[in-house]
Each structure stands twice: as structure tokens, then as C-alpha cells.
A and B are shown apart, each in its own frame.
Chain A
Amino acid sequence: MKYSIRQSILARVVRLAWLPLCLVLVACHVDMYDQPKYKPNDVSNFFPDGRAMQPPPANTVPLNSYNPNSPLMTGRVEGQLADQLPPEIKLDAALLAHGQSRYNAFCAPCHGLVGDGQGVIAYRGPMTVPSLHQDRLRTVPIGYFFDVITNGIGRMYSYAARIPPEDRWAIAAYVRALQLSQNTDVALLSEAELERVKAGR
């Protein structure tokens, strides 16, 4: 009797020996990890160029959000470079601070943090980057900076793909502030500001 109980337990254990094999099944299930859907920068077998992210067709504009011919998007009013910010952009300290962070991220590598054309890339390459502190650029309408960021100029590529239009205007406004910072009549400074300049801060 004693032996038969032991044998039946043994038989039961042997019958369940396949259970650990389930772990193998679990380990092989990756269909939720890699679902049949595209995420940014995926490779595609569907599109002929192999890209999941398809470049938009030429002349595509965002739906319902922008008028592609407005001053906000072109930097121009009736074909002429805009000489002030478009109505959608409000000039305040927040805009300039935002413009500063964009300028330092996207423009400073070549133009330098103060806009003198002595950025680190300019320093490393055999190239001369124009200073923002020259009479020509001090007198151009503000739409000029927007236009250059949007379309590029000379050896400078377009930054339209990386900088949205509102940010381009913020940068243009900040460039004006930079120009003012390097070209201000001393007589216009307050006592406190004069002290800071003398102290070299």
C-alpha cells in the first residue's frame, strides 16, 4: 500500500514534467514586442524607397493651421520682406528668452553665442561666417532673418525642417536684441547698467 501511493505520486509528477516546457513558449512570443506597425525611422518593406517615414509630396502644407502665404510663414508682406513681426507673434521677454534658447541651439555653432561669426564650427572649418554686427544686417528688415533661416543663404542650409516658423520669428527678434547689445549708445545706459559694463559683467 505504501509503495503504491509513492508510485502514484511519482507517476503524477512524471505526467506533469512537460510543464516547464511552457517557459520555452513564453520566451518565443515577441509578436507584441514587435507589432506590425511603423514607428519613426523604421525600415519599410512596403514603400519602394525602404522608408516608413515618407517625405511629404512637393508643396504640401499643414492642414488648416497655417496660411502658407501669410507673413508668418513667408516673412514677407506683399512680396517685400516684413519690417515687423507678424500679428501672430507677440514681442515680450518670453519671446526673446525663447529666441535665445533657439539661437544658442541652432545658430551659435557657426554664428557664435554673441553673433560675431566666431562659432565653434566656423573656427574648425576653413570658412568665414559673417558677423551679425555689421551695418548691412543692422538695417535689413526683420523679415530678412526669417527668410534666411527658412531658405538658407550662401553656404548656410535651410533650417525650415528643424525650426518651426514661430521659433524662427523668436530667433529673428533675439538677433535684433543681440545687435542692440553690441551697438548701443553709452549715453542711453542707466547708471546701474553702466556699472555692470564697467565691471565687465
Chain B
Amino acid sequence: MSAQIFPRNANAIFLASLFGLVMLIVGTIAAMVGFYLSPWYTDVGVAKAQPVPFSHKHHVSELKIDCRYCHATVEKAAHAGFPATETCMSCHSQVWTTSPLLEVVRTSYQTGEPVVWNRIYDLPDFVYFNHSIHIAKGIGCSSCHGRIDQQQLAAKAQPLYMGWCLGCHRAPEDHIRPREEVFNMEWDVNSLSLAERQQLVIEYQIPTDGRLTNCFVCHR
């Protein structure tokens, strides 16, 4: 009879470590997916510090200034239009003229040096997003930007994953609204019935034959 090399509980230890190894792999994958979807990675809801603490809540919700006053090209161009220093100064040459918070803006206006803001949404360069077509087809600001009128410092409302884009391109009737309500931040998509929204999709001539999910629609 040969000597026992392994102690009696070796089998239990082997099974336990096998189980542990599997759980470690599954857990690692789950943690990576969780990280990928979390604000640590996506920055969703994480307000960024800016050279001037500009508040959308104050300007949009309290002062009722139209989105287009600053983002003037949103209906005509791919880019919504980031306001020039002159746009800030068209009011702030008259109001809050001595505020230390606006010193950066005043200096920029005097010297011509741009204020360097921190970008909130950074779409990959191989995606060609166009604001104007979404506005023209009845997709509201808040559909993608969330209730930015309730944010003090601006933060991302969407991680901009491709699946999220496709969700709307597959079923625009879930997000469409009348053109007059595009800039209405309080618009609730359920204030129209599904049938009424489907009618809008037809009226605005949004293709429902699958063309909107072709790769080249966004990747050109």
C-alpha cells in the first residue's frame, strides 16, 4: 500500500478552488461590464468644472432664454453652435458687469482670446452626428440632453453608446414630438398617443423601411 500523498480533504479544496476560479472569472467580467456602463467610465451625470460656472438652470429655466439664443446654428448645421464670448457679453455687458465669476469672459472679450470650455459630449470621430436633421424631424433637445434646464453645471445625460442611437433609429415613434415642441424642455413623450406619434413619423417623412439603421447613416 503506497503512502497517501494528498490529505483527506484535498478533494474538497480542489472543488472549492475550482468554484472560486470560475466565480473570479465571472466576477471580473461582470465588474468590467459594470464599469463600462457606470458613470466612472461614461461620465453620465458627472458635472465638469468649467472656467465660468455657467448654469443652464438659471438661464433656461429661470430666465426662459431660448436654446437658440446661444446655440444659434442648431437648426441649420451639424454643430449646434457654441456661443462666442460676444454672445455672453450681449447681456453681460449690461448685467452682472462686475461679477468676479465673469472676469474670464470680460478678459476674453477685451483680448480676443477664447474661453476654453471643457467638452461634455465627445462623440468618436467616425460618427457623423447632425443636429439640424434631428431638430427638423421632431426630436427634441431633451430627448438626448435630458433635463439640462434643471442642471446647474452641465453633465452628460447619455453615454452615447451605439445601441442607444439605434434604439431611436429603429423606433422613432417612441421619441418623436411635434416640431413646435422641440425646444420645450418639459415635453412628455406620453402626452401624445402612440398612434399620433406614428402619424408624425409619416408626416415628417421619416423612413421606416430600415434605412435609418444602415451603417452609412452615421458612419460615412
Contacts and interface: CB of A to CB of B under 8 A. Distances in A.
A43 B69 contact: no
Nearest to B87: A162
B126 A43 contact: no
A78 interface: no
Contacts of A127: 94-95
B82 A41 contact: yes
Contact of B126 (A32, A50, A51, A108): A32
A39 interface: yes
Contact of A161 (B66, B86, B94): B86
B191 interface: no
Interface residues of A, number: 32
Nearest to A34: B125
Tell me the dominant secondary structure on chain B's binding face: loop
A108 B82 CA distance: 20
A57 interface: no
A157 B63 contact: no
Contacts of B114: 49-51
Contacts of A32: 124-126
Tell me the dominant secondary structure on chain A's binding face: loop
Interface in A147-184: 155-157, 159, 161-164
Contacts of A51: 114
A101 to B, nearest CB: 9
A105 interface: yes
A121 B64 CA distance: 10
A35 interface: yes
Contact of A35 (B69, B116, B126): B126
A109 B69 contact: yes
A198 interface: no
B211 interface: no
Contacts of B89: 157
Interface in B103-138: 112-114, 116, 119, 124-126
B65 interface: yes
Closest 5 CB pairs of A and B: A125-B95, A105-B66, A162-B72, A157-B90, A35-B125
Interface of A: 32-35, 37, 39-41, 43, 49-51, 104-106, 108-110, 120-121, 124-127, 155-157, 159, 161-164
